[in-house]
Structure 1
């Protein structure tokens, strides 16, 4: 049985685009993190098995970029929503920019770079904070891995994310083309009567009753948040 729609519930589904506006590169596309690497070498279990030193170095480079990045106005506006709504952020991003902006309920489905984990038992994690993971740092009898969901691995927290989306009266997608499976299927769990919006810098083919906003997240999201807050008063 579906939970009843909660008129005070807002779910934000964020992708790489929102972090890109804070200066973080996407994994794919021009200038992406995988430009100089074979994806099979740095984002698969077999790649980590064969060369854990390379993979550890690759994600330490990304983590350094994350630590230098700052939340932008879109992150901050989403956090501001919590003063007026029950807000859950579901993100495919591995950075902590939502948390640093002030969002208190963030569900990471592709991992969180503030953690390390076992290569063999995905739910066996350890908090590492801002510390870089060193090559040779052992955990569960193998090289400690960054908390990244590799290609071929199942995204995390999907059932929790589904239940949050099913309950929401508003769903905001930011910076995601909704092209990565199975995470993209999460938005299909939204209620038919829920207000649904998607914000991207390029027109995005959407279904499921979404209203599309084309523009920078840093410009569009604060405007949309202001609108939702004013409508509630």
Structure 2
């Protein structure tokens, strides 16, 4: 039976492609308080500011390409049943060729109706406050903001539960939801944690193998090991 491999990816995964993590050490996001540009309250207070923030990010996303880490993860589909659960709102996993990608925090290249959150559509240009969908509904970025539910989390849990191998990459084990999802892993799951400055794993009941490298170098390091393990079975 094909082994199940799950990748939990975060901002560090896309940083090597030139995507700004946009949260600086002072907690500001490109000069803005997070609640100004990534919360329902900020949206209702100043829609133009929020639209401009995401329009800039969308434009930047269209200028970058997947990095080697993205490509190696896509290549693993030739050896495993691969699912990606990402906190990233970019489409770099998909562009690299990965087929099963679950976006926990929404997608930058999509917008949705303000009147019906289930009405989602692709969107690659700037979003203006005057833009409407076919039903005349106003539109907002398809992003999960602070204070909002993470609807895809319920889909992510059973994926993690079935995983034989888990790769945590570009996201801290101290940050929700990666840390909480690990709790659902099988006791015998093989877990890799790739991070240039990995946090302590001592608080986790499961054995986690830390690799102190960036996304691409970390994936290069474990790719051969993973494939050789699979081929030896």
TM-score by length of 1: 0.90
Given candidates 36, 39, 45, the residue that maps to 2:40 is 45
Residue in 2 that maps onto 1:175: 170
| Equivalent in 46, 63, 66 of residue 71 of structure 1 | 66
SS in structure 2 at match of 1:202: coil
Q: How far apart are the structure 1 equivalents of 2:27 and 2:126? A: 21
Instruction: Specify whether residues 142 and 57 from structure 1 end up closer, same or farther in structure 2 by C-alpha distance, changes over 3 A only.
Output: farther
Q: CA deviation at 1:131?
A: 2.4
Please, which of 217, 225, 228 is the counterpart of residue 226 of structure 2? 228
State the alpha-carbon separation in 2 of the partners of residues 72 and 84 from structure 1: 20
Segment drifting more, 112-121 vs 76-85? 112-121
Provide the secondary structure at the position in 2 that maps to 1:133.
coil
2:130 aligns with 136
1:209: how far off? 1.7
Cα separation, partners in 2 of 1:186 and 1:123, compared to 1, 3 Å: farther
For the aligned residues, what is the CA RMSD? 1.9
Structure 1 position 110 matched with structure 2 position 105? yes
Task: Work out the number of aligned pairs and report it.
Answer: 227
> Cα offset for 1:54?
1.0
Structure 2 matches for 1:182-197, cutoff 5 A? Answer: 182-197=177-192
Matched, 1:59 2:57: no
**Counterpart Cα distance in 2 of 1:79 and 1:172:** 13
5+ long unaligned stretches in structure 1: 1-5
**Whole-Å separation in 2 of the counterparts to 1:175 and 1:183:** 10
Any idea what SS the aligned residue of 2:141 has?
A: strand
**Is the Cα–Cα contact under 8 Å of residues 7 and 168 in structure 1 kept in the other structure?**
no
Which runs of structure 1 show a deviation greater than 6 angstroms over 4 or more consecutive aligned residues? none
Question: In the aligned structure 1, how far is the partner of 2:174 from the partner of 2:117?
Answer: 24
CA distance in structure 2 between the aligned counterparts of 1:82 and 1:213, rounded to whole angstroms: 22
Name the SS of the counterpart of 1:46 in structure 2.
Answer: helix
Post-superposition Cα deviations, 1:54-104, rounded to whole Å, max 9, x if no partner, equal 101100101111111110010000000001110000000000000000000
TM-score (norm 2): 0.90
8 Å contact kept, 1:94–1:148: yes
**Cα distance, 1:102–1:31 mapped onto 2, change above 3 Å:** farther
